[in-house]
Structures are given as structure tokens and as C-alpha cells.
Amino acid sequence: MTKVHSISPKPLTYQLLDELVKGGYTLEISGEAQGLINHCRDYLDKKMEDHDAPIYGITTGFGSLCNKNISRDELSQLQKNLVMSHACSTGDEVTPEIVRLMLVLKAHALSLGHSGVQLVTVQRIADFYNNDILPIVYDRGSLGASGDLAPLSNLFLPLIGEGEVRYKGDKRNASDVLKEFGWEPIELKSKEGLALLNGTQFMSSHAVYGLLRAFRILKLADIIGAISLEAFDGRIEPFHPNLHSVRPHKGQIETAANIRSILEGSELISRPKKHVQDPYSFRCMPQVHGASKDSLAYVAQLVLTEINSVTDNPTIWPDEDLILSGGNFHGQPLALSLDFAAIALAEIGNISERRVAQLIFGLRGLPEFLVANPGLNSGMMIPQYAAAAMVSQNKQLCTPASVDSIVSSNGQEDHVSMGANAATKLLRVVDNVERILAIELLNAAQALEFRRPAKTSPKLEKVMADYRKQVCFVEEDVVMYKEMEKSLEFIKSIRIDDIL
């Protein structure tokens, strides 16, 4: 049965967005939201009847053309021209999940009743989502300052019967799909094009999607790190609660508690050790994983504020008879925080790769490269190369986008956030870290077999049993990339709540 989400001023949550991103929902515009949208539009229509002074973006041109006045009979054409001329995103297609988020986030922002759009416009955005008609948007072209002008223009071209959509897996002209549904193109009224195009929904949709994946990555890092600790014959003392109570960072305390819980009942972790300390990549998991958790918690809260905000321009307060042109479309809050998120996630990959390296060095009774007959077999030699390559690429991707700016629109838009670049590169870091963790699990599971017949904890024995149904122990060399891909698919499907 299809679930229904009522678009309303009620704040969006990550739990809800995690469901909406997958589709299979029906969006309905609540009565409260309909009232707010209509109230603002009615106010603007009446304002236009008796107001002669220019209002930016409503009776003027855009950007550096803000001094060009537009006659009343050209206001609709002005908005249509805006959408067409600004549709300049380029590069690779944005994934369906993120396009769905863009539609949801824009519909939500417009429903707050400060944008002056028609109800039919918001309804058509919901119709696209409900029928999985996903406009073709490309991932480059936004400066992240006057909103995400270029990609949002591509997103909303289909509203006016232009552009392309992906429908039932096929790339098609939007006009043809509109005809199939019996929908007329939306006749944009004053200010509507600007309401659709100004806004941070490209950046914030990437941010939400990246964070949803990051939340899972942080839990996986604790689980896989615990398996590596067992495989390396590591010590449990660095995870003792007393250590973390005297340095009580929330993420640090959480990570130590997770590791203790995961390893409860383990024969391996409780047996006597010859060594008195483990390398930092094992011993300092609470401090490193925890710092990334705390950093991402900050970013997540900031993004939550952003997606529940009004970010188009100008902004309208009907009851106060107030129309203000400002800069809420500027992506600086997102740009800075998404750079921060990329750095925090990259460190999860960095420490993971170091654990991989320790496992293949031939230490603590483990064979070199984790293969019984090294020399004839290379074993786990090159998966570590792949992990190291992605760790280094992440370092390059973590060069901040937010410190950059470039002048646009003939000098009118003289400081931009580059938040869209921060957003898209964050997803590349997310993808790399997932793959690095999959390689760590491949190595840790391999190393754990050399500790048999000793057993790890009941939780991890169950994980290993499930893992071995998909990824086999490597006795002799095999085509390794296939095993890496199987490991990646496993961590994407594993039920984390059964472990943590």
C-alpha cells in the first residue's frame, strides 16, 4: 500500500527523507499548506495591481539586469524566459534519489507560504514525484550563491513543457510525457520562475543523501573496526568506559560503547595478550571515529535547518505587507559544513586503510598478505593498494570548495559559495569510504580465519556466517575485484540494527 506524506509547514526529518528518497510515497499538499500558498499568491496579485515601484525579480530583470523594468503584460514571459535561459546545468545526470529529494525539498519550501507561487505549481511538483517522472538534471553548473540556478532550472523546465524527464527508465521529452498525463504546461505568473530557481535544493539534496549514507558508514566503521581488532588480536582496554568518562566527547563515548557491545562474549578479545599496546588505528578508534561522528552531527543539524527554511528571493510576508530582497539563497552555510563533512568522512576511510595495512604486514601470527602460501599467491596485497588510492583521492577531494569564489552576473554576484561543488564532491568521498570499508571487511574476515578455532563474539560470528555466504575465504589467488564488489554489496545490505 502506498504511503502518504502530507506537505505542510511541519519540519522535515532525516527519518522521513530516508523513506521519501526511495519513492513509493504519495505527496499530498495539506490544507494548511494550501492556505499559506494561496494567501501569499493572492497578496502578490493584489500588490501588483496598485504598486508601481519596481520589485526585484517580479517587475525587473535578474542579476545585473535588475535595473531593467518589465511591463505588466510581459511578466509571465519574463518568468518563462528565466527558466529556459538559466537551464545550464551540465555534466553527468543527477541520480534519481537526489532528484526525488530536490522535488520534495522545493515543494516543502514553497509550502511555507513566503514565495508567492500558485498552488497548481506546487501540485505539479508533487505530481512529478508521485508518478516518478524525474526531470533530467546535471551535476555541474551551480555556483551555490544565487541559489542553485542552473540545476534547478533544468529541474523545473518540465513544468513549462520544456526539457527532458526520465520516466519508466526512458529519457523522454517532457512535453510528450505531459501529454500522456493530460497535463497542460504551467503558465508561470509573476515571481514564480524566481521562486523555483532561487534556492539551495540542489546543494541540500546532495547533503541529505550524503548524510543518510554517512550515518550508516559511521556505524559500519565501528562494526568492521571491531572485526579488524579481533583479527589483529587486539586489546579491549582502550575501550574501557573509565577512559572515555574523563574525556567525555559524545562520539568517543558512543564508539567505545559500540565496540564493547559488539565484542561482548568474545573468546578472542578476552584471552591473554603478549603485546601491551595496539597501533593507533586500533587503539584510537573511539577518538577518531568519535570525532567524525561529532562533526557530522553538527553538519546534520545545520542541514536540517537549511531544508526547513525559505531560501528563494525575494521573500514575501503577506500579513505584514512586506516584500524583501535579500540573500537567503546564498549557500555559504552549506558550503562550509559540507567541506567539513567530507573531511570527517575521509578520516574514517583513512584510519580504515591503516587497519588494512596492519593486517597484511605479517604481524601477530598472521601470514603476510593474509594468504597461506605467499609468493606463489599475492593474496590481499593489492586490495590495500586500491584502498590507499581512494584514501589519497579523498585527501584531494577534501580541498575545501568554500574558500573559493568567482565573480558572476557582470559583478552583481561578486561572492559565491561554491557549495554545489562541496556537495557533489562529498558524495564522491562517501562512495570512496564505503569501498574502503568493504576492503577492510574483506581483509578482516580473511585474517579472522587464521585465528580459528578461537571464536569472536556471538554478534560477529553471525556477521561472519552471513558474509561467507557471499564472499569466500581466499585460499589461492582469485580475480579479486569481484570479491571486493561482493564485499561492498554485503555492507550495503547488512542489517546494522541487529548488531548495534
Q: Which residues are catalytic?
A: 56
Of the candidates 83, 80, 58, 308, which has an alpha carbon nearest to the alpha carbon of residue 197?
83
> Count of CB atoms within 10 A of residue 120's CB?
15
- The crossing angle, in degrees rounded to 10, of helices 201-231 and 458-468 is 110
* Gap between the Cα atoms of 124 and 97, Å rounded: 19
- The grid coordinates of residue 441 equal 571487511
Cα separation values, 209 from 214, 270, 420, 438, Å: 9, 39, 14, 20
Measured distance between the N- and C-terminal CA atoms of the chain, rounded to whole angstroms: 30
**497 class by beta-carbon count within 10 Å (0-12 exposed, 13-18 middle, 19+ buried):** exposed
- What nine digits make up the cell of 455? 571464536
Judged by DSSP in three states, 323 sits in strand
In eight-state DSSP terms, residue 370 is: G
CB neighbour burial string for 224-239, b if at least 16 within 10 angstroms, e if fewer: bbbbbbbbbbbbbebb
d(CA 383, CA 103): 39
Cα–Cα distance, 434 to 428 (Å, whole number): 10
Tell me the DSSP string of 121-163.
HHHHHHHHHHTT-EE--EEE---SBSBSHHHHHHHHGGGGT-S
d(CA 254, CA 77): 56
